[in-house]
Structure 1
Amino acid sequence: MAVRAVVVEADGGSRGNPGPAGYGAVVRDRASGEVLAERAEAIGTATNNVAEYRGLIAGLEAAAELGATEVDARMDSKLVVEQMCGRWQIKHPGLRPLAAQAAALVGRFAAVRFQWIPRERNRHADALANAAMDAAATGSAAGRPTRDAATKRAGTDPATTPASWEPRPSDTATRLILVRHGETEFTEQRRYSGRGDVPLSERGRAQARATGARVAALAPAAAAVVSSPLSRCTATARAIAGALRGTVPVRTVDDLIECDFGVWEARTFAEVRAGWQGELDAWLASTRVAPPDGESFTEVAARVARATDALVEAYPGETVVVVSHVSPIKLVLRDALAADDAFLHRLYLDAAGISVLDRWPDGGVAVRSVNDTAHLAAL
C-alpha cells in the first residue's frame, strides 16, 4: 500500500575524508514513526560529503519506491541541507552530479522539505552509516538491512582518488594551515583542558605573536582565519590575523572546539588515572568511548570533518588559517594521513605548533608539515 507522507533520515561518512566510506538512510511513516525501510552501503573510498549525498539519494529512492508523495528529509549535514535548499552554492565539482541526482528525485514528489538536525537526533542513520564504513574499511560487503530492496551501487565515485606520485597543481588546492593555540596555565600543569575557557598565559601570548609572524611568512594573503570559539584560540587567531596582509577578520566555528572531557575537565592526568582507571583505559583503547559525561573522539572527528569540508568548499584554491586545539588537529591529521587510531597517541603537538595540508576538489590530500615550532625557538 502506498504511503503518502514519510520522513527520510540520512547520513554518510568517511574514515579518512577521503577514506573508507559508507552511508545509511531510514524511511519512517511521518504519522506513526514506524520504520518502513533502511538502506546502507559501503561505497569504497570517498569523502564525507559524497557519502552524505549518497545517503540522501538512497533515502529518496526508497521513499519513491514506497509510493510516498511528501517527504521530510532530515540530515545532520548542514552543507547538504543548505545546498539542496539552494542557499549555498555547490562549488565542489565532485558533488554537482550527486546534487543533480538528488534534485531529480525531489522532482518525483509533490513536496520535499529539508531540515538540519543535530547528530544525536540522527542516530539510526548514523549507526547504519558507521556499519557501512566498517565494511568499507575491511573490504567486505556492506551488511545491508533487508527490510526493503537492496541499495543500488552507483558506479565509480567522483571523489575516489587513485594513488599517484604525480605532482598536483597547488593553485587548485585549498591549503589549511592548522595552528594549535598558545599555552595556558592548564597546558603547563598538564591538565585536561576541553570546553573550559582558560585564557592564554603570558608565555602563550608571546607564542601567539610569534606564530602570527610565522603564518604571515607562510601565507601573507590568507583568505580567512577561522577559530574555535574559546578565548585561547580566538586570542591566538587575532594575533595571526593582525600579522597578515590587509584586513582578515577572525570567524569562530563551533565545530572546531576541543573535545568535551566531561568530569575530567581541569584535572591532571595523574588525578584522572587515580580516580577513573577503568574509564581511562577504555577511552585510550577506543575512539568511540567518551570520558564520563564527555564526548568521544569519533564524535569530535565527525564535527571537525564537517568544519574542514565546509572550508574546502568555501575557499577553493585559497589558504585558510584554522586555529583549534590538540584533539581536533590530531584527528584532521590522522584522517589526512589515512592513519589508524594509534596515531593519536604517538603524535605530539606543541602549543602554537603549525601543521599544513592541501586538499584538492577530487579528494586528494597532501600533508606538507606537522608541528612546526621553529618560530618558538627564541621564546
Structure 2
Amino acid sequence: MTAASRGSGRRLVIEADGGSRGNPGVAGYGALVRDPATGRVLVELAEPLGKASNNVAEYSGLLAGLRAVLDLDPGASVRVKMDSKLVVEQMSGRWKIKHEDMRRLALEARDLCAEISDAGGSVDFEWIPREKNKDADALSNDAMDGKSVHRVLAVEGDGETDSMTDAESLAAQGISDVSTPQPGVRPLRLLLVQEPHDAGAAPRIVAAVRRLVGPGTRVVGADDDLATRVAADLALALDVEADTSGDWSGQTPGEGADERVRTAYHSLAATGGTVVAVTSRRGVLSVLSDVLGTPVGRFWALATAAGSLTAVEVWEDGSASVAFTNRTDHLA
C-alpha cells in the first residue's frame, strides 16, 4: 500500500447476496459497490458457484465485494449491507462459526477487512431486510442462471454511467491493461495461476482468467503434465499458443525461492505485456518474494491455495507491486 492510499476519507457501500437453488444446489453470488453520497453503483459482480450451500454463496458475495473495494480504494470507510443475518453476526463477532466451510470463508473475509484496515480504511457490517437488497439479489439470481458479471459502471468524475470495455474496466480499478500500452510505456501485468490438484479445476480457472485478461495475452507455464494441460486450456480460450518449460516448474533443488522462476519472471518484466503463468506454489512464492523482498526465513509464510490466482504488476520504471494474492472464489 502506498502512503497516498492510507485513510482516503472516501466512503463506499458493499451490497452482497448469494443463493442456492436446493441448498445445497445450483448456487451463485452477486455483489456491488456503491457511492453512498450519490447512490451511484461503481462495480457489479456476479458469479456461478456450481453446487454449493446458500451460506457459502452469501460469503462468496461478501468476498467479491471486499476485493472490489481493495481494487477501487483500499483506504475507504466501508459499510457492508447484507440480508444474511448469519454472515453479518458472524463477521461482527457476535455469533460463533461452527461449520468448517464457513470458518474458512470468514477467515478469508477477515483477512480482506484487515487489508482495508491496514490501508487506513475501515469495514463495518449492517443487516438489511431482503427488500432493501434487491440489486445484489438480482445479480445473485443472474449468477444462479449461469451468468458471470464483472462490470465497472462508473469512473469518478466522468459525469455519466456507462458499461465499459475490459480495458476500461481494468483501468478504472487502477490496473493497467498493458496488452495495449501507451507509446514508450511497456509495463508487465503477470497473472500467476497456481497449479491445481487435478485437471477438474481447469474450466473454472479458465473462466476466472478470461474475466481478468484480454486480447494479446501470452500464456507460459511449467512443463509437467498437469501444468501443461491447464496452460493449453488457457491458451485455447485466449486464442494463443502456450509456451511451457522447466523455467516455471519451481522444482529446482534447494530451499526458498527458485532462481529459474525468478529469472523467467525478470525476463517477462523486461519485455512487458500481459502474461498468464501456470506454476507451482513455490513458483508463485518465488515471484512474490522477489517483489516483496521477503526474508528467506519467511518464504513460506504467505498462504496460497492450489488453483488460486495472484497478480503482479511491474511498471516502466522497474517498480513492482502485488495487485492481489490467493484469489480462490472461482473454486468455491
Q: TM-score, structure 2 length as denominator?
A: 0.42
Structure exhibiting the larger radius of gyration computed from Cα positions: 1
Higher relative contact order (CA 8 A, sep 6+): 1
Q: TM-score, structure 1 length as denominator?
A: 0.37
| Greater fraction strand | 2
